Structure 1
């Protein structure tokens, strides 16, 4: 599993068939995690689900990156705090919290609330890292926040006055915030490790962070039953929302421009909503339409690149 270089060069003859396939497949792979989170609600303890998902994912990657990790073990040890924080955020908060939230909220809500992560990244960057934002980006953040609140409140703004939110939506909001922190930490803390081995190292530390919580969960609440359904669910999570989603998006970045690859931000919540309707029978209500319009419009405005003067 070699590192895949990122290029900003657009193919000469338009988007290839492979790029088009990956542009469709990548959001589906990402969104499938949210569908499984809802589908397996009450069937598999959330911390155990996150732990086994990433543990198996690491074992799949190990034959490809194991030698590199061993050769660079000194760097891993030197960066252990960074890797632990990234693992806690990326595999812990973004993993287990989604499965906790999936027990009490819909897969549609999970996808739409999680779609606010890029908006949070920009807002946190402006607040804590002194990154200047253009007026259109600030407007985009505000619109995205309006959409997020609309979905969490389910269109009933009396909920805001009474602070009576669905606990599942708040767990997903926490997971979305965790992803924003994870992304910013990656950006502002570069590593001496190559990209793919670094991901494997982050997963390893994430698994170690999840382990004590998984033991506590088993002793306090329940342990996962060894059933065909549970085994297939964990294998699916390890192969598709984890490994395949990362590889598909990385490959897509080598085939198209960054702006086209960024369309996955918009396609993931759409793919999630369609799959939730087909697989779980979830309907798209009025507040979903209103909230998603605000969020997607906010995403578009915040990710617009400033035109260069000739």
Structure 2
């Protein structure tokens, strides 16, 4: 391997440790937002700012592919709804009544849902190892949501926030699967720009509705800071590093960074937000993380002729 390639490989491996930390920032922003900024305004500001930046970078390619965009514009609206509205505003809504650790643990099961979707929808095969992973991960998610109260499952009090996050996790799986189902001539950055624009358009009327309600929170300086942080750090920063590292190391090696998310989020929730960690978090993590590993299998597992790996970044 040439020296330059080795250098880039080392840089990519080092930056992979940073990606889950960048995504964890979004969970902290979500927990800081209640009482400061509404969930739809925060999501609209985050992805609107990201869309503006990406539009400046990719405007030439987007204009060149305008015929394609005009033909399948609805696909970008659907992807924007799933990836930016539901996985954005609904996460911020859920964070009002659940903790950052719960968000990270529930979200960490998204690759498992993507794997199931690939089997049921895209016709890919699920082996014994992957089946075991699905069972482990789903068990872990339920354990976190019910706070370990399996013996009293029928009468357990579900947190509304947990249910918002479960919905967002399912939405992220659909977002990832549809990106594979709907191929695009756009490059990765230009496609993300088009999806961001679609998501911003979907979020606009919802943001206007939110701001017009009685008792709506006005945009403050602190709220603007949260928007900028959410747009730059877990948005543009994490997405760009993930995509760059994937080109160098390959999708399967980069996907391993997903396993660090709950660990980083737990430490951040405890150290920054002062959230207590319970045994149900530890048990949930012990079930979810091996489950995700078995399903993704570091490049092994779901197979289909001529299939490509499904992108499974975090929120």
1:281-296 alignment runs, 5 A limit: 281-296=274-289
Aligned to 1:261: 254
Structure 2 counterpart of 1:61, from 54, 59, 67 = 54
1:158-177 alignment runs, 5 A limit: 158=151, 160-162=153-155, 164-177=157-170
After TM superposition, the structure 1 stretch with the greater mean CA deviation from structure 2, 79-88 or 61-70, is 61-70
Number of residue equivalences: 298
- The Cα shift of 1:190 comes to 0.4
Matched, 1:234 2:230: no
SS of the residue corresponding to residue 17 of structure 2 reads helix
Q: Is the 8 A contact 1:45 1:222 kept in 2?
A: no
Aligned to 1:91: 84
Q: Report the TM-score when normalising by structure 2.
A: 0.89
Residue deviations 1:194-215, cap 9 Å, x none?
2211110010010001111111
Aligned to 1:134: 127
Cα distance change, pair 80–69 in 1 and its aligned pair in 2 (3 A): same
1:117-196 alignment runs, 5 A limit: 117-158=110-151, 160-162=153-155, 164-196=157-189
SS of the residue corresponding to residue 49 of structure 1 reads helix
RMSD, aligned α-carbons: 2.0
Aligned to 2:109: 116
Matched, 1:247 2:235: no
Q: Is the 8 A contact 1:38 1:103 kept in 2?
A: yes
Matched, 1:278 2:253: no
Q: Is the 8 A contact 2:45 2:227 kept in 1?
A: yes
Cα distance change, pair 85–231 in 1 and its aligned pair in 2 (3 A): same
Cα distance change, pair 117–14 in 1 and its aligned pair in 2 (3 A): same
Residue deviations 1:210-235, cap 9 Å, x none?
11111111122544423221111110
CA distance in 1, matches of 2:152, 2:71: 47
After TM superposition, the structure 1 stretch with the greater mean CA deviation from structure 2, 56-65 or 291-300, is 56-65
Cα distance change, pair 240–161 in 1 and its aligned pair in 2 (3 A): same
CA distance in 1, matches of 2:187, 2:252: 24
SS of the residue corresponding to residue 133 of structure 1 reads coil
SS of the residue corresponding to residue 180 of structure 2 reads helix
- The Cα shift of 1:59 comes to 1.2
CA distance in 1, matches of 2:79, 2:182: 10
After TM superposition, the structure 1 stretch with the greater mean CA deviation from structure 2, 240-249 or 123-132, is 123-132
Residue deviations 1:119-149, cap 9 Å, x none?
1111222233332200110110001011000
Q: Is the 8 A contact 1:159 1:165 kept in 2?
A: no
Cα distance change, pair 204–159 in 1 and its aligned pair in 2 (3 A): farther
Q: Report the TM-score when normalising by structure 1.
A: 0.91
Residue deviations 1:24-63, cap 9 Å, x none?
1111111211111012122210011101110011111222
Gaps of 5+ in 1: 1-10
After TM superposition, the structure 1 stretch with the greater mean CA deviation from structure 2, 16-25 or 91-100, is 16-25
Aligned to 1:204: 197
Gaps of 5+ in 2: 302-315
- The Cα shift of 1:159 comes to 5.2
Residue deviations 1:239-286, cap 9 Å, x none?
011100110101111332433211121011211111111110122210
Residue deviations 1:13-32, cap 9 Å, x none?
59854223311111111121
